[in-house]
Structure 1
Amino acid sequence: MKISIIVTTYNRPAALNLVLAGLAKQAINPNTEWEVLIADDGSKKETSDLITAWQNNFPCHLVHVWHEDIGFRAGAIRNRAAAQSTGDYLVFLDGDCVTMPDFVNQHASLAESGWYIAGNRVLLSESFTHTLLSENDAIQIMDWSVWQWMAAKLQKKTNRALPWLRLKLSIMRKKRHSRWEVVKSCNLGVWKSDFVAINGFDEDFSGWGHEDSDFAVRLLRLGISIKDGRYAVPVLHLWHQENDRSKQAENWQKLEATLRSHHIAAKIGYKSHLS
C-alpha cells in the first residue's frame, strides 16, 4: 500500500514548517511507500520557498499543489492534490496539525476495506503555540516523556495529557461507525477508490464550514463506515485565530440539503481536476 499525505495550508509558513518537520521524523515501516502533497489554497511566495527548501532534504516525494487565492477553497485544493496523488490511501492533514513519529504507520495499520478513519486532535494553547513557533528545536516535543505531557496539561499548554498513549481498542474503534459529526478533515484517512467514488469534497461549499461533514455523510451513504482513530493517530493542533465564519450558515443549509437527499457523488469535485 502507498499512502499519500495531503496537507492543506494557507499563508502560515511557520506552522507548515513545523508540520513538515514532524512528517520528516516519521518512523516508516520498510514495506510502506508514502508521499506528501502540500494542498496550497493560494499562499504567497514565502510558502513556496519553504516547500522548495524542504524538497531538497525530505524523506519522501514532496509535491507543491497550488491554485489562485480567490477565497477559502479548501475542498477544491484538496481535490486538486488528490488528483495528483499516486497513493492507494489518502490521509488529509491540516497545515497546523503536527504529527507524532508513528502517524503514518498507525494510519496504515488502521486502514481497512469498507472503513475510513476519523483521527483526533490535541489542542495547544495560544501562548504555547507562539513559543513552539519561535523555537528552532520545537520539534523536540515529539520526544517528550509521559511526565512532560502530564506537566503540559497541568500548565494548560495542552487540553490532553495522553497523546503518547497507544491503545488497540479493537471492536471499540467501530462503535461510532455512523457518527459523521466526529469526522474532521484535519486528520482523516480514506481509501482513494472510495474518495473517487464520491467525487471527493463538494466544491459547492465555499468559505469555512461543514464541507467535511458533507464528505463524511456521502461516504457513509456509499457504505463506508467510520473507524475511531483516538489513541492511535493524534495530531497536535497549533492554536490559530478563528476562521472567517460568514459562510457557515449558508454551508449549514447545504449540509442539511445533503442530509435530506440521497446523492453520493459531489456535483463539482475530484473529477473536475483530472485534466
Structure 2
Amino acid sequence: MSHSTLKASVIISIYQDVEALHAILYALSRQIEQRFEVIIAEDCECKAVREYLAQHTFPFAINHLTQEDKGFRKTKAVNRAVAAAKTEYLMFLDGDCLPHSQYVAEHLNQRENNRVCTGRRVHLGPTMSRWFRKKPSLIKLIENRLVYTLLGLPLVFDHTKNYEIGFRSTTLHKRQAKKYLTIVGCNWSVSRADMLKINGYNEDLPGVGGEDDDLGWRFNGKGIHEKSVKFVIPVYHLHHVERRADVSTNLQIIKQNTAQKRYYCKNGVDKYLSETHEKLKSNA
C-alpha cells in the first residue's frame, strides 16, 4: 500500500511481551478500516519480538523501532515513532491493550483539528486475560453485545474493571461527551501536526506515571483540547502487575513546567525529525 493511501499510523509502545503483541496485532488485523501502518515502539531490543515479527505476515506495514534497554524510556520510544510516522494522523496503543475492530475507523471518524481524541479501556481480569493471550480470537465474542452482556457476571467475578466501557453506545457517549476526559496512553489519537506543536512527550520525565497528564496540559496550553470518545472506541487491557515508579519525581517536574507555562518541551520529538529526514535522503 502506498503512503498516499494510508490514513493513520498506529503506534504501539511495548516492552518484551511477545504474547500480548501477538494478540494486539491479531486485533489490528480485524480492523474494518485497513488503511493504516503500525509502528512498534519497543523500549528495549528483545530478540523474541524480532524473531516473532520475522516469522509472521500481516495485512499492514510494520515499522519496528528498538532502543537500548536503559530503564523506562517509553517517552523516547514513542517520540521516535512519531518522527517516523508516514501519515498525518496518529493513534496510540499500549502494548497490553487490544483494540476493538472499529478502533481505527472510529478514531478517524471522530478526529478534529486542534482536538485530542481520548478513550478508555476495559480492565480484563487475570483469567480472561490469560485466555485472550492464548487465543486472541476471543475478542470477537466480547465485541458482540449479547455475548458481552451474558459474560457480565463471570467478568465481574474475574475482577474486571470498567466493564461498562465495553458497550459501544452512541447514547452513553452523548450523555458524557462534554465531560473532561484526560489522555491515557492506551487509547488516544491526535494529528501529527498538533503533536509536533508541543514537541511530543517530554523525555526529561524519568519515571513511570504522569507522562500522559503532562501531554494534556501542554496540548491545552496550545489551544488543543481533549475530545472524549468514551463508549465509542473501547480497548481491552490485559491484566498484569502494576509497574509504576518515580511518579512523584515526574509530578514535581510537571508542576514546575506548568508554573512556567512550558508548553513546548525542550527534550522531545524534534531531534528525531532531522534523523528521519537524513535517513530518507540516504535511502532515496
TM-score, normalised by the number of residues in structure 2: 0.87
Q: Deviations along 1:64-113, whole A, 9 cap, x unmatched?
A: 01111111000000000111111111111101100111110000000001
Q: CA 1:244 to 1:161, structure 2 compared with 1: closer, same or farther past 3 Å?
A: closer
Q: Secondary structure at the match of 1:147?
A: helix
The question of 1:24 aligning with 2:29 is answered yes
**As a proportion of its length, which structure holds more helix?**
2
Moved more, 3-12 or 146-155: 146-155
Check conservation: 1:116, 1:225, Cα contact below 8 A.
yes
Query: Following TM superposition, by how much is the alpha carbon of 1:148 offset from its aligned partner in structure 2, in angstroms?
Result: 2.2
What is the match of residue 10 of structure 2?
Answer: 5
Tell me, in whole angstroms, the C-alpha distance in 2 between the residues paired with 1:10 and 1:4. 19
Give 1:173's aligned amino acid. Answer: A
What is the match of residue 150 of structure 1?
Answer: 149
What is the match of residue 194 of structure 1?
Answer: 194
Out of 167, 182, 192, the residue aligned to residue 170 of structure 2 is 167
Q: Secondary structure at the match of 2:184?
A: coil
Q: Deviations along 1:186-237, whole A, 9 cap, x unmatched?
A: 1110110010111000000112111111111100100001100111111000
Q: How does 1:1-275 map to 2 (within 5 A)?
A: 2-28=7-33, 33-54=35-56, 56=57, 58-135=58-135, 138-144=136-142, 145-155=144-154, 156=156, 157=158, 158-159=160-161, 160-161=163-164, 163-167=166-170, 169=173, 173-176=177-180, 182-245=182-245, 247-274=246-273, 275=275
Q: CA 1:255 to 1:134, structure 2 compared with 1: closer, same or farther past 3 Å?
A: same
Stretches of structure 2 that go unaligned for 5 or more consecutive residues are: 1-5, 276-284
Moved more, 149-158 or 261-270: 149-158
Query: Following TM superposition, by how much is the alpha carbon of 1:147 offset from its aligned partner in structure 2, in angstroms?
Result: 3.0
Tell me, in whole angstroms, the C-alpha distance in 1 between the residues paired with 2:109 and 2:240. 31
Stretches of structure 1 that go unaligned for 5 or more consecutive residues are: none
Q: Secondary structure at the match of 1:215?
A: helix
Query: Following TM superposition, by how much is the alpha carbon of 1:150 offset from its aligned partner in structure 2, in angstroms?
Result: 2.0
Give 2:149's aligned amino acid. Answer: M
Query: Following TM superposition, by how much is the alpha carbon of 1:49 offset from its aligned partner in structure 2, in angstroms?
Result: 1.5
Q: Secondary structure at the match of 1:190?
A: strand
Tell me, in whole angstroms, the C-alpha distance in 2 between the residues paired with 1:132 and 1:66. 26
Tell me, in whole angstroms, the C-alpha distance in 2 between the residues paired with 1:100 and 1:202. 29
Give 2:259's aligned amino acid. Answer: R
Tell me, in whole angstroms, the C-alpha distance in 1 between the residues paired with 2:45 and 2:18. 9
Query: Following TM superposition, by how much is the alpha carbon of 1:43 offset from its aligned partner in structure 2, in angstroms?
Result: 4.0
Check conservation: 1:210, 1:251, Cα contact below 8 A.
yes
Tell me, in whole angstroms, the C-alpha distance in 2 between the residues paired with 1:49 and 1:173. 43
Query: Following TM superposition, by how much is the alpha carbon of 1:171 offset from its aligned partner in structure 2, in angstroms?
Result: 8.8
What is the match of residue 279 of structure 2?
Answer: none
Alignment root-mean-square deviation, CA? 1.8
What is the match of residue 281 of structure 2?
Answer: none
Give 2:254's aligned amino acid. Answer: L
Tell me, in whole angstroms, the C-alpha distance in 1 between the residues paired with 2:127 and 2:167. 22
Query: Following TM superposition, by how much is the alpha carbon of 1:139 offset from its aligned partner in structure 2, in angstroms?
Result: 1.8
Kindly tell me the number of residue pairs found equivalent between the two proteins.
263
Query: Following TM superposition, by how much is the alpha carbon of 1:45 offset from its aligned partner in structure 2, in angstroms?
Result: 0.5
Q: Deviations along 1:147-174, whole A, 9 cap, x unmatched?
A: 3212333112433145242316459524
Q: CA 1:112 to 1:170, structure 2 compared with 1: closer, same or farther past 3 Å?
A: farther
Give 2:177's aligned amino acid. Answer: R
Q: Deviations along 1:220-269, whole A, 9 cap, x unmatched?
A: 10000110011111100001111041x11111111212321212111101
Moved more, 147-156 or 77-86: 147-156
Give runs of ≥4 in structure 1 deviating > 6 Å: none
Tell me, in whole angstroms, the C-alpha distance in 2 between the residues paired with 1:125 and 1:82. 31
